[in-house]
């Protein structure tokens, strides 16, 4: 058994393997790989024997941002093994090798948007994220005047989409830091009739957009954004969404949007919206100290709002990794010195829920072992005022 990164001239062989093990056309994977602006052939790992590819995994370089916190994720996809080679531990070996590479190359964590059991067995943990269901009713919307809704046009609309996404999401955790090239290449290849990539424009300017996709009886809306002060543009988009639903006979509308998204408030005036914390996003920690170090600016900014900052030392442990948070004379540092520290033990689900602001520190089990003074300080440092979330891009 040999694990290797493939070479450019081995792409055709790899695409054939993916077509077999993932039961999807070769063209589907061709588009994913060749239209990814961060494409690097060496991110594809295979198990090879006697020149034959038996198993494969791919990790995609995805820079995320939020609240001025730049993080690098390795988004895993296209895991598969030939049917007659399964049960030999190939997937596990490839996944562990991927994590080793991510550690060496400076990644912070790994994301998976799939519930395939092999991920959970190999150290990825499900982190519940907000999901909403919109109950459709026949109702008259108070539509603003002057709007036109149409399908997204790659040639004409990319620059405006790039700007709207960037300005709307620049403080949101888990947003992929999309370059203009990312919009041009990666987001335009999937344009089927049942895709809802719609824009609402007024006076020849796009003020909002909606991305969604119908699957079976459901339609999933996974991205909406608007120009500042143009929330009204969501109303014509809702109207267009209803027409799509009537056309394709969809029964449910699922909204994977941030909990503070203005669309929820606007649509809630007309329709019944219910929310839940839904499983599906899997995360694995790659480098605890590196993430905390990147968060130092956020920690310090939050502490600067306090009139008096107590000195404190905390050892944070998660997924067999440790790092220390030291607060002294109002200054916070991340160090390797874990002596004389108050201990904070977190599992991966708790850690990611904390840093992505799904929860406050005071709501975690770990808070029970600390004093009220410590808990108050950590609540301020991690700034868990409200849960905001924006789902990672599909690879």
What's the CATH number where 313 sits?
3.30.1050.10
Give yes or no for a contact between 261 and 228, defined as CB atoms under 8 angstroms apart.
Answer: no
Are 119 and 193 contained in the same domain? no
How many angstroms separate the CA atoms of 393 and 395, rounded?
6
Residue 45 lies in a domain: yes
User: CB–CB of 186/37 below 8 Å?
Assistant: yes
CA 285 – CA 352 distance, rounded (Å): 9
Tokens of 52: 């034959």
Domain assignment of residue 329, yes or no: yes
| Secondary structure letter of residue 276 according to DSSP | E
Last residue of a domain, one of 73, 88, 123: 123
Dihedral angle computed from the Cα positions of residues 25, 178, 69 and 100, in that order, rounded to the nearest 10 degrees: 30
Model pLDDT, residue 66: 59
Same domain, 220 and 192: yes
Q: Are residues 140 and 267 in the same domain?
A: yes
160 and 247 share a domain?
yes
Among candidate residues 243, 277, 311, the one where a domain is terminated = 277
Shortest CA distance to 123 belongs to which of 108, 134, 132, 112?
112
234 and 322 in a single domain? The answer is no
What's the number of domains the chain is made of? 3
For residues 310 and 373, what is the distance between their CA atoms, to the nearest angstrom? Answer: 9
Residue 321 has what pLDDT? 96
Mapped onto helix, strand or coil, the DSSP state of residue 158 is helix
**What is the DSSP code (8-state) at residue 145?**
T
Residues 358, 132 contacting (CB under 8 angstroms): no
Task: Please tell me the predicted confidence (pLDDT) of residue 266.
Answer: 94
158 with 266, same domain: the answer is: yes
Residue 255 lies in a domain: yes
Report the pLDDT value the prediction gives residue 68, as an integer from 0 to 100: 57
Answer whether residue 392 is part of any domain: no
Residue 271 sits in the same domain as residue 294: no
Q: Please give the chain's pLDDT, 395 residues, in tens.
A: 788 998 888 888 988 898 898 877 877 777 777 778 887 878 899 999 888 999 999 999 998 875 557 889 999 988 889 999 999 999 999 999 999 999 999 999 999 877 678 888 899 998 888 889 998 877 788 899 999 999 998 889 999 999 999 999 877 777 888 888 888 887 755 556 668 899 999 999 999 999 988 888 888 898 999 999 999 999 999 999 998 888 888 888 999 888 889 999 999 999 999 998 887 789 999 999 999 999 898 899 899 989 999 999 999 999 999 999 999 999 999 999 989 999 999 999 999 988 887 789 999 999 999 999 999 999 999 885 555 556 667 67
Residue 103 lies in a domain: yes
User: Is residue 221 domain-shared with residue 202, that is, in the same domain?
Assistant: yes
**Assigned domain for 376 exists:** yes
Q: Which of 94, 112, 98 has the alpha carbon at shortest distance from 54?
A: 94
Segments forming the whole domain that contains residue 164: 132-277
Statement to judge: residues 216 and 98 lie in one domain: no
Does residue 388 fall inside a structural domain? no
Question: Which burial class, exposed, middle or buried, applies to 376 when counting CB atoms under 10 A from its CB (0-12, 13-18, 19+)?
Answer: middle
Same domain assignment for residues 8 and 119: yes
Question: Collapsing DSSP states into helix, strand and coil, what is residue 271?
Answer: coil
CA dihedral 147, 150, 154, 156 (to 10 degrees): -40
CATH code of 259's domain: 3.40.630.30
Q: Please tell me the predicted confidence (pLDDT) of residue 193.
A: 64
| Residue 300 is assigned to a structural domain of this protein | yes
Are both 45 and 171 inside the same structural domain?
no
Q: Identify which of 342, 346, 347 has the alpha carbon closest to the alpha carbon of residue 310.
A: 342
Q: What is the pLDDT of residue 253?
A: 92
Domain end among 90, 123, 156 = 123
Helix extents (H) in the chain: 11-22, 26-34, 90-104, 117-121, 154-169, 180-185, 234-248, 262-267, 288-294, 296-303, 348-355, 372-382
The answer to whether 176 and 64 are in contact (CB under 8 A) is: yes
For residues 274 and 265, give the distance between their C-alpha atoms in angstroms, rounded to a whole number: 12
Same domain, 181 and 257: yes
């Amino acid at each position: 058994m040999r694990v290797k990164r493939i070479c450019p001239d081995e792409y055709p062989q790899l695409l054939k393997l993916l077509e077999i093990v993932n039961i999807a056309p070769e063209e589907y994977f061709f588009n994913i790989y060749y239209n990814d602006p961060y494409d690097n052939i060496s991110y594809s790992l295979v198990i090879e024997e006697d020149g034959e590819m038996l198993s494969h995994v791919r990790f995609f370089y995805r820079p995320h941002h939020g609240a001025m916190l730049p993080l690098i994720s390795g988004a895993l996809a296209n895991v598969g093994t030939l049917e007659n080679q399964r049960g030999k531990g190939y997937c596990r070996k490839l996944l562990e090798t991927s994590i080793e590479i991510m550690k060496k190359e400076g990644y912070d964590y790994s994301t998976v948007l799939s519930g395939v059991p092999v991920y959970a067995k190999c150290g990825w943990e499900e982190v519940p994220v907000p999901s909403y269901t919109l109950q459709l009713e026949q109702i008259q919307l108070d539509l603003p005047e002057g709007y036109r809704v149409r399908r997204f046009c790659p040639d004409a609309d990319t620059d405006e989409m790039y700007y709207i996404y960037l300005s709307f999401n620049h403080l949101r955790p888990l947003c992929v830091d999309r370059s203009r090239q990312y919009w041009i290449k990666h987001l335009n290849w999937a344009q089927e009739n049942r895709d809802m990539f719609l824009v609402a424009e007024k006076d020849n300017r796009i003020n909002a957009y909606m991305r969604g996709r119908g699957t079976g009886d459901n339609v999933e809306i996974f991205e909406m954004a608007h120009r500042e002060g143009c929330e009204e543009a969501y109303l014509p988009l809702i109207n267009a969404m209803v027409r799509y639903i009537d056309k394709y006979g969809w029964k449910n509308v699922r909204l994977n949007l941030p909990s503070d998204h203005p669309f929820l408030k606007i649509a809630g005036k007309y329709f019944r919206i219910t929310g839940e914390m839904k499983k599906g996003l899997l995360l694995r920690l790659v480098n605890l100290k590196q993430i905390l170090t990147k968060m130092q600016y956020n920690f310090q900014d939050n502490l600067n709002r306090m009139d008096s900052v107590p000195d404190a030392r905390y050892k944070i442990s998660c997924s067999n990794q440790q790092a220390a948070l030291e607060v002294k004379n109002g200054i916070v540092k991340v160090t390797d010195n874990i002596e004389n520290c108050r201990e904070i033990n977190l599992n991966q689900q708790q850690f990611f829920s904390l840093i992505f602001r799904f929860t406050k520190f005071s709501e975690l089990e770990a808070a029970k072992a600390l004093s009220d003074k410590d808990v108050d300080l950590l609540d301020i440092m991690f700034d868990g005022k409200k849960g905001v979330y924006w789902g990672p891009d599909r690879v």
